[in-house]
Structure 1
Amino acid sequence: MRTMAPRKKGPLQTVQKETDDIKREVDALAQDVTRLDISDRTETLQRCTDLQNTVAETLKKLNKLTKADESAPIGNYDQRKRDEEERLRTLQDRLKTLTLQLQPQDKEAGPSSTEAEEDSAEEVSEEEDDSQDEEEEDAAEDDDVNDEDADDDEADHRVTENVMSNSKKGAGSYVALSAFTGEEEGDLTVQKGAVLKILQKNEDGWWLAQDSKGNKGLVPRNYLKMISPQEQESEDEDDSEEEQEGENETAKSKPSTSSNWDTIRKAITEIDATDVLSAMGAIPPGFRPSTLSRLLEEGTSYRASHYIQPKLSQSELCFKDLQLDPDSGKVHARSSRVCLTLTLWSCRMIPPPGVGLQVLSRHVRLCAFNGTEVLSNIHTVRATYNPNSPKTWSFSPRMSSLLPCLLDGDCFFRCDSDSPDLGILFELGITYIRNSTGERGDLSCGWAFLQLFDENGALIPLRTQELAVHGGTPYEGKADIDATSTKRGTSGGVLQQMLMSRKQPKLIVKLRSPNTRTREQLNLLPDTITGCLSTVRLLALYRQLLADALLLDRVTMQNADLICSAVLGTFPEVLDHPDLMDAFKKSWVESENNLKRSDKKDMTALKKLFENVYMSSVFPLLYSAEMPAPLWADESTETQRARLIYSPVHKITMETMLSPNHTHQAFDIPQVTYDLLTSAWH
């Protein structure tokens, strides 16, 4: 009788068999470790290392497999592949634990001076590798890592002590930014501010560390921050030896020489406020100083007032983006590479700051971005916050009156850059005040980037997008906002992955194509600009007034004299103040509703109404001495300005400005003139 040839095993079955073989070897190794003699450590440790390499190679082989590689169909292929990966990850963890048990306990921990120099030299490249590894890992539970029991003064004192200690320990020393409690066998439990020595940097982002008591274990890499070595004066060497002999507390709390304080002051000046807040546990490790807020503070280059101005052509003899239609006399419509509207919907699972910080504002800043530089003005939308849902941000609250520009999540976006990497950068930020010191600051709670074109150069579909929010900054790569969200070896089933995905920080935005009327108005604006959608009508009318003054009313195109127009000269400044734009928008809506139907389509009547409403409602507020200067996220200032803008008793109008009881700022010629050269070349 003829026997059938044995069926050839497929690639996935081959990997499963290899995993079974590896598991048997790991089980045998674990038994050998329990009855291990000290003389056999080196050989057994080598076996452990070889098995780790074998598991890594098998994982790579598994990840490359696809269903098409199989010679025969396999039911539930994806699930079987995930189960196999989970088995290999479990074996990896077991081998790491065995490695810890095999480490010599009687040797002094910490890398040698040569290893420390290599760590310093290779720090940048390792940071990039770690960020890529962390991106591939699945997120786990979003725990709160803030220590609510520590007050600010004690945390500051502890940070100072740790900085001084790190400066004496040199290269290879790391400080724990937050407390970490070991959840699995082989993890090292550390307190925030603890100084650790790194013994091994694993590719999965979990580093083998040793604390000051000699305990060893694995710690997430994004819990740690390297402290640069500080040069010590010869007088400090004796103090350092005393600290190593057990007099740490006395030496830190009562420094005996002035040189110690000099060292402390020098070390403190080399760390920024974010490092201090991280070490205190006041903010999650992924928070950074706000990148876009810093750009806004540097001048007007990234403000709407700069981008609303017409730009000169390359020859500087005419305007690049402002022309008149000879037939209609209106501004010539210009299409841009990207012209869309977007709605900020919500932010989910954003970790809140800890104790010691009072949040003054939660907001999202957005702009055009190509991966290396900001290409437009930076537009800000403030989020509404419910203390019952501390990790959720919402936008566009329902209001009986007109929605303020600052709270309006409906935005427009225009950009004419030809970059293939063009997209929209979103930065989630908070403005805070520190309770103990009164210090104000701006922090980034994470960022998201929406690339607008696919690899074929086509615009992406305009629909609702769920964007992953990353910690760090757009320039340093993707990182986790909260270090506890990184969990090694978590693959699990489909349901588990869906549950974990819901715990990831997300920004939900809705992209839409503007309707015909809105698109017509947007095409009258500069090629690149973003802002509040409810102001598009006013911006389009301002551009029409600019075109009349610059292209029709000038004696010659070479004439660059000052143009007498308070509207043209001051409207861009109002555009940078959302509360003044709200006042203008409110007055405009009320006045436009009183127009006849025929006048609403008459450009001459609309331009005249624009000037009258502006001069009677907004211009008096802009230069009133009673109006306090705007201060971002300052409640008392915002309340006082709102009282002067809307209160019938205190409202400032053209009539009240002419009364002897009203004081206003000293007159200056820029208040009533438009400078063509300054605006176009600004």
Structure 2
Amino acid sequence: MAPKRKGPLQTVQRNTDDIKKQVDNLMQEVRQFKGSTESKAITLADASERCAQLQRSVEETTRTLKKLTKADEPAPVGNYDQRKLDEENRLKMIQERLQALALTISPAEKPGPSQNADMPSSSQAKEEVEDDTGAESEEEDSEEEEDDDEDDDEEEDLEKQAETFIAISAFIGEQEGDLTVQKGDLLSILSKNPDGWWLAQDSSGNKGSVPRTYLKVYQDEDEEEEAEDSETEEESEEEMDEVSKTKQRSQKSAWDIVRKEVLEMNATDVLAAMGAIPPGFRPSTLSNLLNEGKTYRGSYYLQPELSQSQLAFKDLFWDPDTGTVRPRTSRTSLSLILWSCRMIPTPGVGVQVLSRHVRLGVFDGAKILSNIHTVRASYNSKNPKTWTFSPRMVGILPSLMDGDCFVRSDSQSPDLGILFELGVTYIRNSTGERGDLSCGWAFLKLFDASGVPVPHRTHELVVHGGTPYEKGVDVDPSITRRATGSMLQQMMASRKQPKLIVKLKSPNAKTRANLNLLPDTLVGSRCSVRLLTLYRQVLADALLRDRLTMQNADLICSPVLATFPQILDQTDLLDALRSVWAEKESALKRSEKRDSELLKTLFVEVYLDTVFPLLHSASLPSSRWADDELESQRARAIFDRAPQGALAALLSADHAQEAFDIAQVTYDFLSPTRAAATTS
């Protein structure tokens, strides 16, 4: 039997695969041989030539692909146009990677082969006319080259004299010895290597190598004005042809655009170019907000909020009749259960998933109005596209896996709802780089157009691709394309759409009473509500009952008030406290459980005996998200230590503590971050 004939499109695909392998090998070799010695410089020169050859191969393959039609195939090919478009996108991403590589190898030269490959016929005709001018055009070109050489010489002299440079773009170190800088950082140049990698030192004293293309000579405002004035005078004295100046400006602007796009390629673009993630995946929006600071953390929203005058509290009041916190009802106060996520695409080869999770918060369509709460999902390796959550946590099971949540918000926005972001934390096998990706998002609006709350039932939410601020983006566009056929095809495609199943329900009377003691805006796990209400009661005693006057803003000596909010960001410590408290509370008599003063005293004792000595223990590793080994070490350090009293634990020779800081035992309710947030 004769072998099956390969079609032209398949041939182009094989050529693209071969080019991609060569590019990957070249980039790996450049990373290995990057340096300042003479032998390495020769290696980089050879790599520059190979890079140019690969760019020419990409251009030639692209031209071949554009000429192909469906009629050229020896046999019918399904979805031909889409396959051809995908191949064009692959070649485009390879070309962008080669441009970025060319910048690294030879920063002073513009990467890429000839730009006349796909030039229109009018441009070619113009070139022919220019060629016919003969000696005149050669003289003009020589004059332009001399002007360019003079500019380059002046720029080189300025660089030799300058010692301070400014970063024009952020650079993240790729290997040991590189210096990570942010856009706008001032750097002192210690040495200028001929390969384009300069040894720099930042304002903090950190040293490392930075690409020359990321740096620019730093000038203050006066120097810049003088430079602009001198440039204006020189330009007015020069008699250059207007046509040639326009041509130079257009070439420069086009190069700046290409250079900017290449330098701003992030890790998500690289993964998309590799085909490791679906088209609808994006960098995690909510994860980035969490990493910006404490503004979107539960520890921040647990603090009392000052009123507009900053002379009283907005959400913490004393009830003299009961001698405790006055309950406050919010516009939104409900229980939310995460059930499962279905048909969620998984990252491809080369990416290892460390965590699958859902982040949620109150959202009005424009901004997040609450803290961001995270719930980790579990999955079966046989069915990785289905995520499940535990409906209730008991015993010592981690609250991070608790799918039973509560939501409180006092916002009056008509578009108020809950934003869910499905995300994964990954690590690239080749580079060891970690990152957070959004696998899609869903929004559950809590009120209809007339302001009536949505019914408390199970909701099946469609998961959209992109970010919450993008509309009409699909997680997997191929599923949407299949839904354009018959009714049966649409039904089958609908079953394959990514979806999130959640259930809204009204809290029972006991849970509602506890929720009304919490801040007006807060999202969290329902298993921690009891601990949060006890903390709020201790906080109310210190701020509203025991202060000498309401105008007294002195620091309060209380380790519980000073450190308890921190454990909301370290869920394993919160689980340890919850476990010990459940044992203590179950041993109380019924009359003792109704004694609020006894419960508050017992809560403080349990906290000081269990969690407080661990917060600043030298043997407890710092927490890190989605690190299984570190989480196991922390779990052993937490649960293997038997409660022995705060003073005994702090003075014990077996358990070393960090250096003492007065902030560990003093509480300041007028902290700058909280005051600034209330006044903004």
Confirm or deny a common fold (TM above 0.5). yes
Classify 1:258/1:672 alpha carbon distance in 2 versus 1 (closer, same or farther; 3 Å).
closer
Amino acid at match of 1:407: M
- Matched letter for residue 313 of structure 2: F
Q: Kindly indicate whether residue 113 of structure 2 is the aligned counterpart of residue 239 of structure 1.
A: yes
Question: Who is 1:625 aligned against?
Answer: 618
| Residues in 1 aligned to 2:523 and 2:281: alpha-carbon distance in whole angstroms | 26
Alignment of 1:308 with 2:182, yes or no, is no
Runs of 5+ consecutive residues of structure 1 not aligned to the other structure: 1-146, 198-210, 213-223, 246-256
- CA drift at 1:475: 1.1
Q: Does 1:389 align with 2:259?
A: no
CA distance in 1, matches of 2:319, 2:520: 17
Q: Partner residue of 2:37?
A: none
Distance 1:235 1:636, change over 3 A: closer
SS of the aligned residue for 1:486 comes to: helix
Question: Structure 1 pair 455/330, CA: closer, same or farther in 2 (3 Å)?
Answer: same
Which among 154, 161, 178 is matched to residue 24 of structure 2?
A: 154
Residue equivalent to 1:113 = none
Secondary structure of the residue aligned to 2:450 is coil
How far did residue 243 of structure 1 move?
Answer: 7.2
How big is the shift at 1:400? 7.7
Residue 477 of structure 1 pairs with residue 351 of structure 2? no
The correspondence of residues 84-483 of structure 1 with structure 2, limited to 5 A, is 154=24, 183-184=78-79, 187-190=82-85, 194=89, 239-240=113-114, 268-396=262-390, 401-483=395-477
Q: Which residue, out of 563, 568, 577, partners 2:570?
A: 577
Equivalent residue, structure 2, for 1:552: 545
CA displacement 1:100-139 (0-9 Å, x = unmatched): xxxxxxxxxxxxxxxxxxxxxxxxxxxxxxxxxxxxxxxx
Say which SS state the counterpart of residue 458 (structure 1) adopts.
Answer: coil
Query: Which of structures 1 and 2 has the larger relative contact order (alpha carbons within 8 angstroms, sep 6+)?
Result: 1
Letter in 2 for 1:189: K
SS at match of 1:314: coil
Contact 1:368/1:375 (<8 A) preserved: yes
CA offsets 1:525-547 (integer angstroms, 9 cap, x no match) = 01100000000111111111111
Q: Which moved more, 1:263-272 or 1:524-533?
A: 263-272
Structural mapping, 1:581-600, within 5 Å: 581-600=574-593
* 1:595 maps to amino acid: L
Distance 1:402 1:153 in 2: 51
State whether residues 645 and 652 of structure 1, in contact with CA within 8 Å, keep that contact through their aligned partners in structure 2: no
1:540 counterpart residue number: 533
Distance 1:156 1:596, change over 3 A: farther
Looking at structure 2, the residues matched to 630 and 473 of structure 1 have their Cα atoms a distance apart, in angstroms, of 28
Q: 1:606 aligns with which of 599, 603, 628?
A: 599
Q: Distance in 1 between matches of 2:489 and 2:561?
A: 59
> Partners in 1 of 2:273 and 2:565 — Cα distance?
42
1:497 alignment counterpart? 490
Residue identity matched to 1:429:
G
| Number of equivalences | 486
Tell me the distance in 1 between the aligned counterparts of 2:643 and 2:546.
38
The answer on whether the counterparts of 1:368 and 1:425 sit within 8 Å (CA) in structure 2 is: yes
Provide the residue aligned with 1:657 in structure 2. 650
Instruction: Give the whole-Å Cα distance in 2 for the aligned partners of 1:357 and 1:497.
Output: 32
Instruction: Give 1:427 deviation, angstroms.
Output: 0.4
Q: Retained in 1: the 8 A contact 2:339–2:391?
A: no
Deviations 1:498-539 (A, max 9, x none): 322110000000100100110010000011000000001111
How far residue 464 of structure 1 moved from its aligned partner, in angstroms, is 0.4
CA contact (8 A) 2:425 2:437 kept: yes
Q: Which amino acid aligns with 2:650?
A: M
- Checking the alignment, whether the CA contact within 8 Å between 2:393 and 2:402 is kept in structure 1 is no
Q: Secondary structure at the match of 1:239?
A: coil
* Alpha-carbon spacing, 1:433–1:653, altered in 2? closer, same or farther (3 Å): farther
1:523 matched to 2:397? The reply is no
| Structure-2 separation of matches of 1:411 and 1:333 | 20
TM-score, normalised to structure 2's length? 0.65
- 1:487 maps to which residue? 481
Q: Output the CA distance in 2 between the equivalents of 1:664 and 1:451.
A: 48
Q: CA deviation at 1:239?
A: 3.0
Change beyond 3 A, Cα 1:656–1:556:
closer
| Contact preservation (8 Å) 2:337, 2:403 | yes
Equivalent residue for 2:188?
none
Secondary structure at 2:670 match in 1: helix
Aligned residues of 2:457 and 2:504 also touching (Cα < 8 A): yes
- Does the C-alpha gap of structure 1 residues 475 and 237 become closer, same or farther in structure 2, counting only changes over 3 Å? closer
* Shift in alpha-carbon separation, 1:591–1:267, aligned structure 2, 3 A: same
Letter in 2 for 1:419: S
Query: Aligned-pair RMSD on alpha carbons?
Result: 3.9
Q: Is contact 1:644–1:651 with CA below 8 Å preserved after alignment?
A: no
